[in-house]
């Protein structure tokens, strides 16, 4: 009777460890990620940045895991784009609903790492419905991704 309990506890402990390792690798690890692409402006250590989020980052617990704080997300709309799963695509008359978060230099670097900037996503500055601009992460075109991978090799 005691052995099954030990095996169960050991299995649960291993699964918890694997889950925590996965979260660290996904949200915080520098492994598998190169610094931001050169075409983006340098990150100013004293500035704050507006970022429009429309997918997983709309959830406060995901932002907390990625940046170390949830922050407040203000409802916002991005005109001219429609949401397709975890991406947005240009579409006349469409509007994507999401949130705008304000982040500092360290937090935008954490978001870049989470989104695998230059590998999976690109960060572009777009104008929101209220007329303000914000950074937005968009899934990279597969052709651009292939070229990026060739350059990295």
Residue ranges covered by each domain of the chain: 32-152
Helix axes 60-67, 105-114, angle to 10 degrees: 110
Buried b (16+ CB within 10 A) or exposed e, 92-120: eeeebebbbbebbeebbbbbbbbbebbbe
Per-residue pLDDT of the chain (153 residues), as tens digits, is 578 888 888 898 889 888 887 777 766 666 666 666 777 888 889 999 999 999 999 999 999 988 989 888 999 999 999 999 889 999 999 999 999 999 999 999 889 988 888 888 999 999 999 999 999 999 987 654 444 444 444
Instruction: Return the CATH number of 32-152, one of 3.10.290.10, 3.40.50.2300, 3.30.1130.10, 3.10.490.10.
Output: 3.10.490.10
Q: How far is CA 31 from the centre of its chain?
A: 16
Indicate the pTM of the whole model: 0.75
State the Rg of the chain over Cα. 19
pLDDT at 149: 46
């Amino acid at each position: 009777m005691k052995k099954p309990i030990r095996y169960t506890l050991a299995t649960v402990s291993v699964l918890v460890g694997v889950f925590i390792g996965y979260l660290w690798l996904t949200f915080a690890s520098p492994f598998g990620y190169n610094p931001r692409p050169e075409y983006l402006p340098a990150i100013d250590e004293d500035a704050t940045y507006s970022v429009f989020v429309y997918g997983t980052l709309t959830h406060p617990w995901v932002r907390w895991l990625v940046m170390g704080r949830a922050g407040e997300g203000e409802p916002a709309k991005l005109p001219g784009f429609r949401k397709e799963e975890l991406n947005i695509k240009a579409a006349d008359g469409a509007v994507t609903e999401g949130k705008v978060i304000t982040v500092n230099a360290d937090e935008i670097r954490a978001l870049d790492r989470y989104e695998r900037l230059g590998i999976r996503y690109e960060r572009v500055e777009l104008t929101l419905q209220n007329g303000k601009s914000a950074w937005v992460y968009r899934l990279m075109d597969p052709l651009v991704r292939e070229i990026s991978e060739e350059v990295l090799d």
